[in-house]
Amino acid sequence: SQMEKGMNTLGQIMSYTAAQLSTQFHTHIFSVLIMHDHTWIIRWDREGAIISSAINYNNKPDLADFFYHYTQASPEMHGVDTPIMLAGDKEAYHSYVQS
């Protein structure tokens, strides 16, 4: 049924999002769900999701506007957790020796 297909799609999107958030240093991420003539922009974080209302991307520039502004945004606005950085050689060695 349509409901089952929708629930399967939602589960798949949630699975991909959980995998991405658990393996990358991000505070949040964005997804774009496109179905037929409509799209939804979803902002995910570890607490849940905020979903836009449906956008008819054939009649409204909202999706193009989102992508334009996304390309202009800072890493922090993209969700990159900027305080996270690679350990230096000394820190990495110290951590290795302690473990």
Per-residue pLDDT tens, the chain, 99 aa: give them.
888 998 999 899 999 999 999 888 899 999 999 999 999 999 999 999 999 999 999 999 999 999 999 999 999 999 998 887 777 888 877 877 887
Please state, in angstroms and rounded to a whole number, the distance separating the CA atoms of residues 79 and 44.
Answer: 10
- The domain total for the chain is 1
Q: What is the CA radius of gyration of the chain?
A: 18
**Residue span of the structural domain in which 79 resides:** 2-98
Q: b/e for 11-41, b at 16 or more Cβ within 10 A?
A: eeeeeebeeebeeeebebbebeeeeeeebeb
Q: Is the pTM of this model over 0.85?
A: no
